């Protein structure tokens, strides 16, 4: 959590601006242990000002055109590492991956979204951040590259805890990959005397496959993923019966933390409220 900084200056570092992914991977293999990757700097610069990190090298993504791409080929929706959040705020994104669109709208404010990236929001690994719960609900994957190789890993498990991510020093996330399917989705955030949400809900409903992912964020160190099977959701039966099962599941399995943002009790109340709101919103659409 950010406690504010007494510093005006940044720790000393060297600034590297590669022009291709290959060049970037070379630098990473050489300096990875002492380097941080930066796009808009929303996280990196703030953390450096607070002296939470002091990398010797900052590797900028700004001169690598291929990391700037958003691609939708009907199979997958891909977001490059240097795509700024505000570049995701348009109709195609809302239609294709509505949960993500709504999560992005909830991140910080328009000026910060002009600088920050989705990959950055994910990689900061702040439990109150918005990208991770939304991507979990969408079954997203990450393309992880290092010198000489590239792999696709599920986003689930990427964040291991506050500031802890499952990424080696010489690796970087080149893009986020979301499978394109027929879906409805929403993202709800509840904040109280803070910029960060004390509880968030990402809900993605794949209506043709009759399954959903409900992700409860900001209430524990890592988001909680609940899918229809977990709660024995019966798509043929009454919504009220299903909600009963879901509420019972949350009552016995979800134990929110106490922290500066909220007490555990209040969080539990809010997460149930948000969950029901999300269900109301997502399940009340007419199917196209």
Partner 1 sequence: MTSNSILGEKIPQVDSWLKVTGTLRYNFDISLPDMLFAKLVTSKYAHAKIKSIDFEDALKVPGVVAVATGKDFPYRLGIYVSDRDVLAIDKVRWVGHPVAAVIATDIGAAEEAVEKVVVDYEPLEPVLDIEKALENDSPLVHEHLGEYSSFPGFKPIPGTNIANEFKLIKGNVDEGLQQSSLIIEDTFKMPQISHATMEVQNTIGYWRPDGTVEVWSSVQSPYATRFLLSKSLGMPLNKIVVHAPPIGGGFGLKAGLGWEALVALLSRKAGNKPVKLTLSRAEQMIAAPSRDLFLAKVKAGFSKEGKFLAYKAEFFMDAGAYADYTVNVSRTSGYSAEGAYEIENVNVRSLAVYTNKIPTTAMRGFGHPENHWPLEQILDRAAHELKMDPVSIRRINLLKPGKSFRATGERVREDEGDPEGVLKTAAELIQIEKVEESSAPWLVRGKGLSMLVKAPSQPSNAAASAIVKLNEDGTIDVITGTGSMGQGTPTGLAMIAAKEFGVPLENVKVVQTEGVDTDRNAYTWQTVGSRGLFSDGIALLRAVDDAKDQIRTMASVVFKVPKDDLEISDGYVFSKSHPWVKKELKEFANGYTFDDGTCIGGPVIGRGSYAPVLNTFLDENGHGSNTVFHTFGATAVEAEINLITGEIKIIKAVQVFDIGKIINLMGLIAQADGGFIMGLGSALFEEIKFDDSGWVLNPNLTHYYIPRITDINFEIKEKFLETPQKDGPFGARGIGEHVMIGVAPAIANAVYNATGVKINELPMNAENIWRQIMSQKPELFYKAFQNFEGSLKEVTAK
- Measured between alpha carbons, how far is 1 from 112 in angstroms, rounded to an integer? 18
Distance CA 224, CA 17 (A): 37
φ/ψ of residue 217, rounded to 5: -110, 170
User: Closest approach of Cβ 271 to partner 1, in Å?
Assistant: 11
Of the pair 73, 287, the CB lying nearest partner 1 is at: 287
Give the range of 18-26, 29-37, 152-160, 192-200 binding partner 1 by CB under 8 A. Answer: 192-200
C-alpha 47/C-alpha 124 separation (Å) is 10
Segment contacting partner 1 (CB under 8 A): 81-89, 115-123, 139-147, 269-277?
269-277
Footprint of partner 1 on 83-112 (CB under 8 A): 109
Residue partners of 77: CB distance under 8 A and separation at least 6: 70, 71, 96, 97, 177, 178, 179, 180
**Dihedral (CA of 92, 97, 102, 103) sign:** negative
Cβ-proximal residues to 140 (8 Å cutoff; 6+ apart), any chain? 154, 155, 176, 177, 178, 179
Number of chain residues interacting with partner 1 (CB under 8 A): 37
Q: Is 182 in the site for partner 1 (CB under 8 A)?
A: no
Minimum distance, C-beta of residue 57 to partner 1, in the bound complex (Å): 19
Residue 162 or 260 having the CB closest to partner 1: 260
**Which span sits near partner 1 by CB under 8 A: 22-30, 63-71, 146-154, 240-248?**
240-248
Residues at the interface with partner 1 (CB under 8 A): 1-9, 109, 190, 192-196, 235, 239-240, 242-243, 260-263, 266, 269-270, 273, 276, 279-280, 283-287
């Amino acid at each position: 959590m950010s406690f504010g900084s007494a510093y005006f200056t940044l720790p000393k570092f060297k600034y590297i601006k590669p022009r291709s992914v290959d060049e970037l991977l070379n630098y990473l293999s050489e300096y990875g242990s002492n380097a941080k990757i930066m796009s808009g700097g929303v996280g990196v610069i703030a953390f450096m000002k607070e002296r939470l990190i002091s990398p010797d090298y900052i590797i900028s993504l700004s001169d690598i055109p291929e990391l700037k791409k958003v691609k939708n080929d009907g199979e997958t929706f891909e977001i490059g590492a240097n795509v700024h959040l505000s570049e995701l705020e348009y109709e195609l994104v809302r239609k294709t991956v509505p949960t993500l669109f709504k999560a992005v709208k909830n991140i910080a404010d328009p000026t910060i979204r002009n600088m920050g990236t989705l990959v950055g929001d994910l990689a900061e690994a702040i439990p109150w951040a918005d990208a991770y719960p939304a991507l979990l609900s969408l079954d997203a994957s990450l393309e992880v590259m290092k010198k000489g190789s590239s792999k696709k890993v599920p986003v689930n498990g990427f964040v291991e805890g506050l500031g802890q991510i499952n990424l080696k020093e010489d690796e970087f996330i080149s893009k986020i990959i979301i499978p394109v399917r027929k879906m409805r989705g929403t993202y709800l955030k509840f904040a109280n005397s803070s910029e960060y949400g004390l509880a968030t809900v990402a809900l993605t409903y794949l209506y043709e496959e009759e399954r959903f992912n409900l992700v409860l964020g900001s209430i524990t160190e890592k988001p909680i993923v609940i899918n229809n099977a977990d709660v024995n959701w019966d798509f043929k039966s009454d919504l009220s019966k299903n909600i009963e099962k879901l509420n019972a599941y949350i009552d016995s399995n979800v134990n929110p933390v106490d922290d500066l943002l909220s007490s555990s009790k209040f969080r539990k109340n809010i997460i149930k409220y948000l969950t029901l709101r999300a269900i109301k919103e997502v399940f009340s659409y007419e199917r196209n």
